[in-house]
Chains A and B, each alone.
Chain A
Amino acid sequence: MSGSRTNTGGDAGSADTADASAADAAELTDGPRVVAVRDRLDRVEDPELARSIVELDYVDAIETDGGRVLVQFTLPTAWCSPAFAWMMAVDARDEVESLAWVDTARIELCDHMHDEEITTGVNARDTFGETFPDADGGVAEVRAAIADKARVSRQREAIATLLDAGVDPAQIVALDRGDVSLDGEAAHVELDGFSVVVDRDPIEAYLRRAAESGHVTDASDTLFLTPEGDQIASDRLDRVQKRSRLADVNMSGQGAVCDALHRARHGSDDESG
């Protein structure tokens, strides 16, 4: 395949700072199409970590040739869950193919115990079940379970933002989705007869994860929930906050493990914290 090519490299320093500089450098050398593909791939997340595969430095190469695009990616270990690998490959394919000029995207998973099966299956547009007949349960269930973990882990900061703004626990647990609206840099929260204005970001991040989990979609849905998806008793709010903190520590802790393995595999031992 000819055309522009990029290698995002495996030797980034800090995951946070290096990505920005790597992206800046890439802007200078890559054609606009590669940049456009990378922007779409940035929306694909490692489901276990709820972070972008571009940010995590999984993408090895992007090649374009007319309306055809090739994306190669590698995960931190050959043993990463095949279901998660499958989700990332399918999501990458669909994101890239959403670009108007792309006819077909070919996704290749490298150095994985099931790289051939996943690469073949995803590009042939087979289902996960067709590719792995011995798997019980479907990818959809895994996606739902993962989305729910992201909901729980983001809830803490949203609630903390409201507590900081002086909203009391009894009011917080009584909120519905319809009581919250986003407007510019702010989020408006309707309490009995008056409105509290808080920072948009933590609320928006939570609403997105809560909607993806399927728990909080309609205006009448209770806004904040226990990890099991139940209504929170106001005297249990602190306990729920602790569980939300735990979910967040789990996800970021696993992120640190995956990051260290990724660096070990790709010959870089910089620390990212």
Chain B
Amino acid sequence: MYEMDGEEIFVIDGHVHLWDARTENITHEGGEQFIQCFYDYHTGFTPEEKQWDMEEYRHYGADRMATDLFGNAAADMAIFQPTYLTEFYDEGFNTTEQNAELAEEYPERFVLNGSFDPRDGEEGLRYLEHLKEEYDIPGVKLYTAAWRGDSKGWRLDSDDAFEFLEKCADLGIENINAHKGPTIRPLNRDAFDVKDIDDAASSFPELNFIVNHVGLPRLDDFCWIAAQEPNVYGGLAVASAMSTNRKRKFGEIMGELLYWLGEDRILFGSDYALWNPDWLVDQVMNAELTDEQRDEYGVELDVDTMKKVMGENAAQLYDIDIEEKKRQFRDDAVTERFDLADHYGGDAGAAAD
């Protein structure tokens, strides 16, 4: 938890991965280019003294991840967003099963999402059922630009995708997280285009669509769609890291999101291990709008707004009772391991760092 103006802020990191990009797991040159590109994002938006070297970045393991997330109580909970990329990585980059290693060790601390790929057809539908049964997944993370044989991507508004979304609705998998953001292949028809969200969101009002990376570099298309579709949310991964050395841009993006979506539909995410909540949470909590931005947008990053963005909005989507969690965390396994009993002891919750 974080303390701001004397109030506790319960932090749910809405976007984390336990990935494996060791060279022995890479089966396609795309896998190596992918992790190299991630590493550029890492160094591009991480304070120099907090940067990792490439070897630890390729594979950090469950133990280190738990320490990074909870060691100084930067995050109280985290949501796994699997990224399969099985065309590039032998065992996958971070599948539901890979992420489950840590999620099952500390189930009270993690939300474990699954995934689907409509190109898997009937077998994919069975796999989705299996994920629900095995892990009780409350959501899926979708990667519309994933390669599969000759296909370089798929769209959420396709008939095949709708069949899977219907299956999600039937199974009670309510939170559809779509990676929409930084440009990667395929070619000119951009599979990270956000426009397919529009039709999917209006066709499935019972589902929530969380657009990761707030659609950058299509923030404008994303906000315009979200302004009209009440079940569309923005995930801050990548955007939140801009608070490192592009503070003004971060402020502008927050201003736009608050203007078009409002404070109830924005979710913090570190995209760990792209960036590490052990410093990013503090940095985002300390971010301020300039006077000019306050005038322009008529909004503030005040305690009430940050409470929602950093935790309450995710809690709403994933049915997390924050007060109940605070009680539970007084003596759960993570608190024992990292000696956080005082932190959750009810004495106004001073941050552990």
Query: Which A residues form the contact surface with B (CB < 8 A)?
Result: 48, 76-84, 113, 128, 132, 134-139, 141-142, 149, 152, 227, 242-243, 245-247, 249-254, 256-257, 260-261, 263-265, 269, 271, 273
- Closest Cβ of chain B: how far from A155's Cβ, in Å? 13
Q: How far does the alpha carbon of A84 sit from the alpha carbon of B217 in the complex, in Å?
A: 13
Which of A48, A78, A245 touches B33 (beta carbons < 8 Å)? A78
Of listed A242, A253, A265, residue having the most chain B CB within 10 A? A253
Interface size on B, residues (CB 8 A): 45
User: Does the CB pair A142–B242 fall under 8 Å?
Assistant: no
Fill in one digit per residue for B233-251: 1 if any A CB lies within 8 Å of its CB, else 0: 0000011001001101100
Query: Which B residues form the contact surface with A (CB < 8 A)?
Result: 30, 33-34, 36-37, 39-45, 48, 150, 152, 182-190, 216-220, 223-224, 238-239, 242, 245-246, 248-249, 252-253, 255-256, 259-260, 296
Can you identify 26 A-B contacts, CB atoms within 8 angstroms? A77-B37, A79-B34, A79-B37, A79-B184, A128-B188, A136-B187, A136-B189, A149-B220, A227-B224, A246-B220, A246-B223, A249-B252, A250-B218, A251-B217, A252-B252, A253-B219, A253-B239, A254-B217, A256-B242, A256-B249, A257-B182, A260-B246, A261-B40, A264-B41, A269-B245, A273-B249
User: Does the CB pair A135–B188 fall under 8 Å?
Assistant: yes
Q: How far does the alpha carbon of A134 sit from the alpha carbon of B153 in the complex, in Å?
A: 12
Which of A48, A78, A141, A269 touches B36 (beta carbons < 8 Å)? A78
Q: How far does the alpha carbon of A261 sit from the alpha carbon of B33 in the complex, in Å?
A: 14
- Report B-chain residues with C-beta under 8 Å of the C-beta of A257: 44, 182, 216-217, 238, 242
Q: How far does the alpha carbon of A174 sit from the alpha carbon of B248 in the complex, in Å?
A: 35
Which of B30, B40, B183, B184 touches A48 (beta carbons < 8 Å)? B183
Q: Which residue of B lies closest to A253 (CB)?
A: B249
Give the dominant DSSP class at B's interface. helix
Q: How far does the alpha carbon of A251 sit from the alpha carbon of B219 in the complex, in Å?
A: 9
Q: Which residue of B lies closest to A49 (CB)?
A: B217
Which of A251, A253, A269 touches B48 (beta carbons < 8 Å)? A269
- Closest Cβ of chain A: how far from B184's Cβ, in Å? 5
- Report A-chain residues with C-beta under 8 Å of the C-beta of B187: 81-83, 132, 134-136
- Closest Cβ of chain B: how far from A28's Cβ, in Å? 31
Which of B188, B224, B260 touches A81 (beta carbons < 8 Å)? B188
Given contacts A83-B187, A128-B188, 14 further A-B contacts (CB under 8 A): A48-B217, A77-B37, A79-B183, A80-B183, A82-B185, A136-B187, A245-B296, A246-B224, A253-B252, A257-B217, A260-B246, A263-B44, A264-B43, A273-B246
- Report B-chain residues with C-beta under 8 Å of the C-beta of A132: 187
Q: Which residue of A lies closest to B249 (CB)?
A: A256
- Report A-chain residues with C-beta under 8 Å of the C-beta of B183: 48, 79-81, 84
